[in-house]
Structure 1
């Protein structure tokens, strides 16, 4: 019985770790995309000022 509980706890913690990695990766991609959008907007504003 204790082995089953330990196995279930181990499997749940492994699933949580995998989910956390995917979430962290997704947040990083979102931040990168936001940075790219800001950079593009700044470039467009600079071009308008120069013209």
Structure 2
């Protein structure tokens, strides 16, 4: 069973972006569908975001 995690910046409710490690990204309002994202692509995305915030 996949484990989905909401952003720590999201407030309680059904209006959140969720990530599933090795699975992808989904909208909590539509949990039956998701955008597949590989671990490698997710790591590259995080590096890019972290670099932009410096």
| TM-score in same-fold range (> 0.5) | no
Higher RCO (C-alpha 8 Å, min separation 6) = 2
Structure having the higher Rg: 1
Q: Greater helix percent: which structure?
A: 1
Q: Greater strand percent: which structure?
A: 2
TM-score interval (norm. to shorter)? 0.3 to 0.5
